[in-house]
Amino acid sequence: MSGARHIAFEERSKGTIEVEVDYVVVGSGAGGAAAAVTLARGGAEVAIVEAGAWRDGEHYPYSAYGSMRDLMDDWGSTVAVGRAFWPVVQARTMGGTTVINSAICVRTPDDIFAQWEKERGIGGLRDRVLAHQERIERELSVEEVPPAARGRSNLLAMKGAEGLGWDSHYMRRYVKGCEGTGQCLQGCRKLRKQSTNLNYVPETIARGGTVLSCAPVSRVVLEGTRAIGVRGHFVHPQTRAKGAVFFVRARKGVFVAASVTHTPVLLARSGVKSKMIGEQFRAHPGTGVFGCYDEPVDMNVGATQGWASTQFRKEPGLKLETLAIPPELVASRLTGAGVELMKRLAEYRHIAMWCHAVRAESVGTVRPAPFSDKPMVKYGLDRADMERFRQGMILLAKQHFAAGAKAIIPGIQGMPYKLTADQVGLLDDAPLDPKKYIAILSHLFGGAIMGRDPASAVVDGSGRVHGYQGLMVADASVIPSNLGVNPQHTIMGLASVFAEDALAA
C-alpha cells in the first residue's frame, strides 16, 4: 500500500494490509515517537505501529472510568503479582503513556550514567543524551508550572516543605501554558500537555511516514537473525474484534518501543533468544497520604502534579510529589461503605493528596501470561524497600502537618482512619506487609536491559539486540537501574541516541 499516512482499524474482509518502509517503530509513546521522529528527520521512511486508537483532544474522556476504558492498557488491569497485587499504570493509545501522565520532565542524573558505565560497561551516553534532552525541552515547550496553574494543593506542599527545611521545587513539565484544569490522567483536552500524539507523531507523518493505529503487533518477523518487519491484526477499539492482518516490512530495521511490560513479551514471542529477556524488572512503587484542611483545597484545581522534592532520592531512596486524583478514585482509597463512605467523601474539597515514589532495589520479571498474549509481571518489595515505603509515608505526614493540616488519612489497613499531629509516631510501627497498603507501580524499568555483555543484557549501548541485525529496543525496558526520578526524559534521550546510531550504521 502506498500513499497512506494514517491507517486505522481495517475490517477482516480487507485481507492483508502491507506497508514497506525503511524502519518500523512499534509503539508511539516517549521512546517510540522520539525514535521515529529522529529517523524521519534523518531522511528515513518510517512507519509507527500503535496498538491503541488515535484520539484527538475533543475525544478524550472526562472521567477516570472513561480514561481506563479509552486510554489505558486493557482497562488498567495489569497488576504485579507478589506479596500483594499492585496495579501497573500504562496507556494504550496514540502517544502512549505521555497522554495520561503528568508530563514531568527531569534530566537523567549524572550518577546514573556513572552507574551504567561501571556496572554495565556502557559509556559515552551522558553528553549525547543530555544534548538531546536540551533539544527536546525546547521542542516540547518545557516550563515550570506557572503561578496561575499551581492550585492550592501544590502551594500547600511548598509551604510544608519550606517549614521542614526541605529542598523542593515546582515541577518542570512538557506543557505549553498549563491552565491547571487537573485533567492529565484523562488526557489534556486543552491540548496544553505536549504528549507525542500532538508533535512527534504528526511530524513523522509530515516527513513521509505512515502510522497504523488499533494495530497491536503479534510478532517481529525474523529471517534468521535479521528483523525484516512486524505482523499483527487490527483490533477494533470498542468491540475488540480482530480485523485485517497487517504486515509492515522494514528494509533497514525494527525498533521495539512497546513498553516495559509488552516489549519483553513481544521479543520472546518473536523467537528472540536471550536468557535476560523479561529479567531485571524494576519500578517506583508508591502511594499517597491525604491531608485534611480546614479551608477548601480543591486539589483538582491546578496542575495535576506541580510540586516535587528529590532531596531523599539517594537516602532513603524516595521522590516526593503532589498528585491530584478525581473523586471516583478518591472514593476507592477511603475505607467504609454506604452512608459512612458518603460522609467521608463529603470532605473531598478539603483534602490534598501527596505521594511518594520509592526508588526500590527489588527486582521482578515480565513473562508472557499462560494461554494469553498479555504480560505477566511478578514483583514484590523486600523488607528494605518496605521500610523505605513506610518512611515515605512518615515524611508526607510530617509535611502535611507542617502545611497546617488538622489530620491525615494514611490509608493503612489496621490503623486508625485518621491521625492527628500528636499521633504521627504511630506510623513508625506501621506494618511492612504490602497487602496493608493501596499502592501502584509507576515509572517502570527493565525487561530488555542494556549492557556490553550479551550474557547479562538484551541490548547494547545503541539499543541493538545482541546477536541480531536490524532489531533495536527504544523504551524504558533497556534501562538497567532504578533512576529515582521520572523516566520520560531519559527514555526520549536514549531513544534519540539509538535512532541516530541506526542512521549512522
Residue in 4, 46, 43 with CA at minimum distance from that of residue 23: 46
Sign of CA dihedral 303, 309, 314, 319: negative
Cα 58 to Cα 294: distance, rounded to the nearest angstrom: 36
97 is in an annotated binding site: yes
488 is in an annotated binding site: yes
Cα 291 to Cα 402: distance, rounded to the nearest angstrom: 11
Q: What's the start-to-end Cα distance of the chain, in Å?
A: 28
Cα 50 to Cα 8: distance, rounded to the nearest angstrom: 10
Residue in 439, 452, 444 with CA at minimum distance from that of residue 84: 439
Count CB-CB contacts under 10 A for residue 435: 11
CB 173 within 8 A of CB 154: no
Plot region of 472 (φ>0 → left; ψ -120 to 50 → alpha; else → beta): beta
Give the CB-side neighbour count of residue 126, counting CA atoms within 13 A: 10
* Exposed / middle / buried, residue 428 (Cβ in 10 Å: 0-12, 13-18, 19+): exposed
CB 268 within 8 A of CB 292: no
The kind and range of the H/E element at 331 are helix 327-333
Cα 86 to Cα 284: distance, rounded to the nearest angstrom: 11
Look up residue 359 and give its amino acid: R
Cα 217 to Cα 220: distance, rounded to the nearest angstrom: 8
Cα 488 to Cα 186: distance, rounded to the nearest angstrom: 18
Sign of CA dihedral 475, 477, 483, 486: positive
Structure-block grid coordinates of residue 221: 518477523
Binding-site annotation: residue ranges: 97, 217, 487-488
Binding-site annotation: residue ranges for FAD: 97, 217, 487-488
